[in-house]
């Protein structure tokens, strides 16, 4: 599995959530439900602020 785990801050509620950089499905915020990542066939398009790269492989 080649990819990275990224901590993203939601623009709407400031919740921080860890997600996979190559997400294969839409990732929603666990608190408010807004979209954090949209799949593109490779690296996901992120819709929040990247706080840190948690684990890079």
Residues 3-55 have pLDDT tens digits of: 899 999 999 999 999 999 999 999 999 999 999 999 999 999 999 999 999 87
Residue 37 CA, chain-centre distance (Å), reads: 5
Which pLDDT score is estimated for 23?
Answer: 93
Q: Beta strands of 1-57 (E only): which ranges?
A: 4-9, 16-20, 27-28, 35-38, 45-46, 49-56
- 35 and 45 Cβ atoms separated by less than 8 Å: no
- Structure confidence at residue 1 as a pLDDT band (50, 70, 90): low
Q: Is 42 helix (H, G, I), strand (E, B) or coil?
A: coil
């Amino acid at each position: 599995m080649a990819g990275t785990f990224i901590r993203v801050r939601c623009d709407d509620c400031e919740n921080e959530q860890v997600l996979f950089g190559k997400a294969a499905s839409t990732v929603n915020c666990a608190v408010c439900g807004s979209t954090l990542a949209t799949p593109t066939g490779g690296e996901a398009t992120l819709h929040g602020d990247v706080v840190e790269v948690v684990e890079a492989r």
